[in-house]
Amino acid sequence: MSVRRVDQLLAGMVEGDAISQDALLMQAALRTLGFESDIFSDPERTDPRMADRCRPFATYRARPGDALVYHYGISSPVSEAHRRANTTKILRYHNVTPPDYFRGYDDALAHLLHRGREELAGLAAQSDAVWADSAFNSRDIPTGTCGIVRVFPLLFSPTRFERAPDATVFSRYGGPLRNILFVGRMVPNKRLEELILAFAWLQRKLDPFTRLVLAGSDRSCPRYYAMLRLLAAGIEMPHVCFEGFASEAGLVALYRQAQVFVTASDHEGYCLPLVEAMHNGVPVIAKAAGAMPETLGPAGVLYDGGSPEELASLMHLVLTDTKLRAEILAAQEQRMSAIRSRQPSTELQALLAELGLRP
Amino acid sequence: MRSLTINGQTRTGDVREKLLLQAERMRETSLPHAERAAAVLALGKMPNEQAFLAHYLSLLREDCSVRLDTLEPPCRPGVLGAAVGAVRKLLWRILRPHLELATWRQNAINADVMHALEFLRLASQAPQGWQDSSGLFAPAPDGPVSPSGPSAVAASAPEASRS
């Protein structure tokens, strides 16, 4: 079937957000294939800096013969537009974080996530296909709800890192201290408290000339962020730096100044910062949880369980063992060659052809 | 640590064992402020936002001051490290009186902010004019407000909100 338009629906558009980036890269690939393609999102959850890249979802008009991709990660009013659309429907599933992580910190958000998980089966059943970021995500789709469930990893654009680094951020993290970097939103499933405690052991017992830099939006769960700040202050760790949201130039600076990237996250549907760190030549340490083993592939360091002291020892090993660092970086570069050589338009063409859609 | 994989290869048998040994040695002396860390981490186990806020403010109340006495300049190993460390310590002694004054000012501000937060929490519990839902400031039999709560300062908040 020949279609003219493949549009995309999002709950919100935010600069630096992995799902928003994915939608923009998909839009570029779809246009390359000859489709017309617009992005529609909830204006209340759209960053003003992204307003010119998308349109309000209320203005979306579905027409038979078109196709619609709904990026799903949380319950939102946008789901209703997807349900009503009389088109070929594709659910781009980015995972819904289990709500239990947020109880006590943000009960309203926990409720939205709970509803998001409840609605997943219905949305999958109403869709012609589900494209999941990872095999881990695809396992959330209840068996028999949708006939076509495919893994289509999150798209990554290396060009984001070709710009000059932010000079202020770059100089802030220069000097004799070695930087341990985390990039991601400050939300409870990321288990940043484990990183802070591990860093406390590292700094007090193994290497005082280190610094933990936590970069990412602090607005997603303010009470959790407040707890993290209180923890760092309570154990007197002045070298835990809360960098907050980083611009693209800021991210370039942070990756260039990092000696190791660490995440103790419990739940990730893909974890784009792992790819960003590998792309920027920073050795990665990640918990073997969620989709992170898939994203890293045969590269980087994966650990499972363990105390903060053990994680501190692991960070120290990767910081100081030059032979091991070289081996990790070589494996990561190989992994990145595979990721960088992906052809989004070719992959999309094949996925759409499976649904009988072509421009 | 149950398992360790480096570049796709299981290293549980060799590298992990070394890490466990090092961690064991580190545990011979505990980290300072472990109790404080445990109290803060308890925030993650609160059943709802109200309980979170109450515990959060109690933690802030205990620790809203800046302390200088626990800070020590770091020192690298070796002769050069010791020499640089000695210079750092000397500088620290020279600067300390000035820092004490700055710290005193900061602590005064912190205490005021803390009191303001207490007032706001109490006010948020009483949407239609202040009511003593906690019972901490119950009027004595003869009438006046009794500041018998967690801090006498907080007792003045309801007075302000009633007027």
**Looking at residue A78, which CATH number applies to its domain?**
3.40.50.2000
Instruction: Judge if A346 and A335 occupy the same domain.
Output: no
Asked if residue A272 is part of any domain, the answer here is yes
User: What is the ipTM, given to two decimal places?
Assistant: 0.90
Q: Is A39 contained in some domain? A: yes
Mutual angle of helices A222-234 and A192-201, in 10-degree steps: 10
Answer yes or no: do A303 and B56 touch at CB < 8 A. Answer: no
Shared domain for A223 and A334, answered yes or no, is yes
- The two tokens of residue A2 are 């020949």
Whether residue A349 is found in the same domain as residue A246: no
Residue A241 near residue A213 (C-beta atoms within 8 A): yes
Same domain, A12 and A143: yes
B139 class by beta-carbon count within 10 Å (0-12 exposed, 13-18 middle, 19+ buried): exposed
Residue A164 sits in the same domain as residue A151: no
Measure CB to CB from residue A331 to each of B7, B70, B71 and give the nearest one. B7
Residues 6+ apart with CB under 8 A from B24: none
Query: Domain for residue A349, yes or no?
Result: yes
The total domain count for chain A is 2
Contact of A103 with chain B, judged by CB distance below 8 Å, is answered with yes
Residue A169, domain member (yes or no): yes
Average pLDDT of adjacent 10-residue blocks, chain A of 359 residues: 87 91 96 95 92 93 90 93 93 96 92 94 96 97 94 95 96 94 97 97 95 94 94 91 94 98 97 98 98 98 95 97 97 97 96 92
Nearest-by-CA chain B residue for A191: B44
Output the six-digit token pair for B67. 């302390």
Q: Distance between CA atoms of A316 and A310, rounded to whole angstroms?
A: 10
Residues A23 and A124 in one domain: yes
Flag whether residue A242 sits within 8 Å of chain B, measured between CB atoms: no
Contact A307 B23 (CB under 8 A): yes
- Cβ pair B4:A206 closer than 8 A: no
Quote the minimal CA–CA distance from A228 to chain B in Å: 8
CB pairs under 8 A between A and B: 131
Within-domain flag for A359: no
- Using CA atoms, how far residue B25 sits from A148, A276, B34, in Å, is 53, 35, 17
Per-block average pLDDT, block size 10, for chain B (163 residues)? 94 92 92 90 90 89 79 81 90 89 89 85 63 42 36 33 32
Does A113 lie in the same domain as A199? no
Residue at A117 is within a domain = yes
The set of residues, in sequence order, having a beta carbon less than 8 Å from that of A70 and lying 6+ positions away, is: A8, A9, A78, A79, A82, A89, A90, A91, A92, A123, A127
- In a shared domain, residues A267 and A163: yes
Identity of the residue numbered A184:
G
Let me know whether A268 and A319 are in one domain: yes
Domain encompassing residue A195: 159-340
What is the distance between the alpha carbons of residues B4 and A298, in angstroms, rounded to a whole number?
Answer: 13
The arrangement of strands across the sheet holding A258-263 comes to: A240-244, A210-215, A178-183, A258-263, A284-287, A301-304, B3-6, B9-10
The verdict on a CB contact (< 8 Å) between A327 and B7 is yes
Question: Has residue A193 been placed in a domain?
Answer: yes
Residues A334 and A346 in one domain: no
Residues B59, A230: C-beta atoms closer than 8 Å: yes
Tell me what pLDDT residue A3 has: 73
CB contact under 8 A, B48 and A204: no
3-state SS of A323-356 is HHHHHHHHHHHHHHHHHHCCCHHHHHHHHHHHCC
Residues A205, A123: one domain? no
Same domain, A329 and A207: yes
Q: How is residue A308 annotated by DSSP?
A: H
Within a domain: A228 = yes
- Which residues numbered 4-23 in B keep a CB inside 8 Å of some CB on A? 4-8, 15, 18-20, 22-23
Distance in angstroms (rounded) separating the CA atoms of residues B163 and B2: 61
